[in-house]
Amino acid sequence: MPGQRDERALADGPEKGERIAKVLARAGVCSRRDAEKLVLEGRVSVDGVALASPAFNVRPGQVVSVDGKVLGQAEPTRLWCYHKPRGLVTTHKDPEGRPTVFQQLPKTLPRVISVGRLDFNSEGLLLLTNDGALARRLELPETGWTRRYRVRVHGAPTDEQLARLAKGVTVDGVSYGPIEARLDGLKGANAWLTMALREGKNREIRKVMGHLGFQVSRLIRVAYGPFQLGNLKEGEVREVPARVLADQTGGRRKPRTGPRP
């Protein structure tokens, strides 16, 4: 097909370049996975030719467009702390029509993506960035950053029960890594805990506490690695200073490679 020949011709040359999904992620357009979907939907072009496959490397100097809009020069990587309220989903578009985090953000922010997620009924610290590659790196367990939570459950877990989590547990065939859990106090029929983990699998805390026989009624993330919720008010956004971002992510704050919207 002519389009396929044109796409192969675009890829000819001595320089290998960078995968299109990575370019779009670095530009903060979307995650790599969503970038691949954009390509397969025919919405991404290079030098005016629509790509048919995400297995394409963009070489220096080539012009990338999404939905006909040319991506411009990349901005430096930025990171924000956001106090997510309950009742929002961490997605750009929800098929159920529920309100999303990104609908509630200040209009002054550029297009951002989240570092991991907090579910609909969870609240607290959510990191946002304009750099998809940074988001992916900070989400990986290998990064070694601890996610810390304040958790309210109905009932009173014993020290022995909480100690079981330190060795990791398997729930419904899913293995969860070690979780540090400490009982902070009792209030009426409820207990408050501090819990810390590194993986952050989907609804991990709710599932492991349910495995122990306790229902989570409130879950607040108070820290993600070195970044703290602190006194950030519900719904507020605070940018991480460039120097702090560079210090905490192990390098100087450089412009991202690839274009941006």
Active site residues: 119
Q: Hey, what are 10's tokens?
A: 């675009």
Q: Angle at Cα 95 formed by Cα 65 and Cα 80, nearest 5°?
A: 60
Q: Cβ distance 221 to 124 under 8 Å?
A: yes
Q: Return d(Cα 115, Cα 7) in angstroms, integer.
A: 33
Which residues in the chain belong to E strands, given as ranges?
Answer: 18-19, 44-46, 49-50, 57-58, 64-66, 69-70, 79-84, 113-114, 123-129, 147-154, 169-171, 174-176, 180-187, 190-197, 216-224, 227-228, 237-239
One-letter identity of residue 63: V
- Write out 71-109 in H/E/C secondary structure: CECCCECCEEEEEECCCCECCCCCCCCCCEHHHHCCCCC
- C-alpha distances (whole Å) from 158 to each of 139, 142, 179 are 31, 31, 15
- Contacts of 214 by beta carbon, 8 Å cutoff, 6+ apart: 153, 154, 155, 157, 191
d(CA 123, CA 126) in angstroms, rounded, equals: 8
- The residue type found at 208 is V
